[in-house]
Chains A and B, each alone.
Chain A
Amino acid sequence: MIKVEQLTKEFTLSKAQKKELNTNENITRAVENVSFMCNPGEVFSLLGPNGAGKTTTLRMISTIIQPTSGKVEICGIDAIRFPREARMKIGFLTGSTGLYARLNANEIIDYFASLYNVPKALLKERKAYLYDLLDMKGFADKKIGKLSTGMKQKVSICRTMIHDPEVLIFDEPTSGLDVITAESIIKLIRSCKEQDKTVIFSSHIMGEVDLLSDRLAIIHNGELKHHGTMKDFRSEMKDKSLTQAFINIVQS
């Protein structure tokens, strides 16, 4: 379960950043008073245009950065006070998380499993399950630097899930991938839901959101513009397409 309350993140601007953003303010608020909840067995979509604050929100939930104010609870653990305990429960993947190019997929998975203290017997079992699910057997011994973008993303996902986390945070997981790889990731998210895991993912693609989401939140300029179930969103929307409904909410 993920519980987010009044989450706010401010960044101090450097002189160069002030000039770049054409502002005299010393701080910028990337996320402001965002609250939502995501339950086990549910897929939660975080939608928003570029720069809306999605990645910052997900980074705060995954304890990579600290919020300026607000609360984050992961499976009942206060993630701000006990970030390491919270991280044990989280699998975090963003478009920008990279892999070590000189290691092969197997070595990467083993390395991260050791960071999560995954016992050897369980690691073997998890590897077999995930390699099969992600169709990774063909390239498990190849160096990451020699893999295609899709293959790399599969290794990243496997790395994210190796410790069998209860909460999965995917930041634009299908960004830049071909349709076949994107489809396999969508399948994986579905299987996570079936296993009663809590899944939160951010995306631009309304098709994906429509396929997967149980609940959604729309964020723009750091503020929550909409929060509710997908079912309600569909029934309440006045437009023909989900994309148009999303645009209308953002522009309102």
Chain B
Amino acid sequence: MIMMVVIPMLVFPLLINVVTSISGSFEDSAEDKKIKIGIIGDTSDYLAQKLYDIPSSFGPKELVAYEGDSSQMLDDYKNEKLDLLLFYAPNVQKKLDANEKAVVKWTLDKTKIGNRGRAKGYMQIIEAEARFLRYDALGINEEALKPFEVIYENSATEQQMIGELAGGFLPYIFIAFGFMGCMYPAIDLFTGEKERGTIETLLSTPVHRWKILVGKMLVIILSGLMAAFSALLGLFLSIQYLDMVPDVKLVEVISTILTPTFIIKLFFLLLPLTIFFAGVMVPVSVYTKTFKEAQSIIAPMNIVVIVPAMVGLFPGIELNIATACIPILNIVLTTKSLIAGNIDYLLFALSFSVMLILAGVAVLFSFRQFGKESNVLN
């Protein structure tokens, strides 16, 4: 129950919420951080002055001037006393006045994205001002240097954008939690019952074996669907009430996507997938003798399932006849198209049929394995 409902519905959305707020606070603190910039020369130099002139709303900064050679400055940079180093020739202003190119070098740590952004931002402001002055001095109309004004208009609706960029996320969550939800009941209802000796009790009753198998499989499928549904519900509720998506318009679009018809279509699509999961897990748990053995085989299968689901997350991969035949990936891509609202129902039917056939084969295989005496009794 904890695995199937509590984790997907509560813990998972909370975890996403915590991660987004932590990364948000890191971004905020990077913007507010006072950056120390090391220079060789004097704070009255042209570039140093220009840096000083940039308002602190572009990020607080402090200039540290070093005299002579750069070794002391480099030591301080290595010891993280400085965040950025700025190198320039002493004749920067002369070069600019002579309409020549002045070389400026920033030393920065590219792994610290905030620092890189600052250096680029400062440089853009200084360069824009220098360029403006140069156009003015040369008597050039800046507009005359722009022969085209190009407009790139996005023809995709917001729904399509969400479908393409984030639409894969929904089936991905469903697949991951659906698999997890199936896993524990599948192991417990076969290997677990074998270990505890209850399967023998059950087999001694006048119930058809196929009925026992179907009953157990239904429990596994329902558990998988329940876990997946809990995860989706948790995610939906956190979008609605926990301000996980700050953009109000985006929340509105998400609400228009998640209609009852869409959810029904989604479950219709994911049902054969969950049956397939059960059909793959049951033969393993029927065959294995201990809970741990079953777990050690089924748990790594998670990766096999997750990888095609992840491929579907990449933008640019589209649903076509070929991808509709690749199990799991087809479900992700079909859901993406459903969200984007540009679904081709023939491909929808193909994806569904592929999964249905696979589910049928897996169930038949389960039935054969369950029929073997050596598998059922320890």
Contact = CB atoms under 8 A, between A and B. Distances in A.
Interface of A: 11-12, 59, 62-66, 84-85, 87-88, 90, 92, 94, 96-101, 112, 115-116, 156, 159
Interface string B178-214: 0000000000000001001110111111111000000
B204 A98 contact: no
B200 A96 contact: yes
Nearest to B196: A98
26 contacts: A12-B374, A59-B377, A63-B204, A64-B203, A65-B373, A66-B373, A84-B206, A84-B207, A84-B208, A85-B206, A87-B205, A88-B206, A94-B200, A96-B197, A97-B198, A97-B200, A98-B193, A98-B200, A98-B201, A101-B196, A115-B202, A115-B205, A115-B207, A116-B206, A156-B201, A159-B201
A159 to B, nearest CB: 7
Contacts of B378: 96
Given A11-B374, A66-B373, A99 B206 contact: no
Contacts, number: 51
B204 A62 contact: yes
A116 B377 contact: no
A60 B37 CA distance: 86
Contacts of A63: 204
A97 B206 contact: no
Contacts of A159: 201
Contacts of A97: 197-198, 200-201, 204
Given A88-B206, A159-B201, 18 more contacts: A12-B374, A59-B377, A62-B204, A63-B204, A64-B377, A84-B207, A85-B206, A87-B205, A87-B206, A96-B200, A97-B200, A98-B200, A101-B196, A112-B205, A115-B202, A115-B205, A115-B207, A116-B206
A60 to B, nearest CB: 10
Interface in B135-172: none
Interface centre among B197, B204, B206, B378 (most CB of A within 10 A): B204
A102 to B, nearest CB: 11
A115 B198 contact: no
Nearest to B208: A84
Given A11-B374, A64-B203, A65-B373, A100 B208 contact: no
A92 B203 CA distance: 10
Given A87-B204, A88-B206, A100 B198 contact: yes
Nearest to A97: B201
Nearest to B202: A115
A90 to B, nearest CB: 7
B287 to A, nearest CB: 11
B197 A98 contact: yes
A238 to B, nearest CB: 39
A99 B201 CA distance: 8
Contacts of B193: 98
Contacts of B207: 84, 115
A61 to B, nearest CB: 11
Contacts of A98: 193, 196-198, 200-201
B16 to A, nearest CB: 33
Contacts of A65: 373, 377
A94 B374 CA distance: 18
A156 B204 CA distance: 13
Nearest to B197: A98
B201 A116 contact: no
Contacts of B374: 11-12
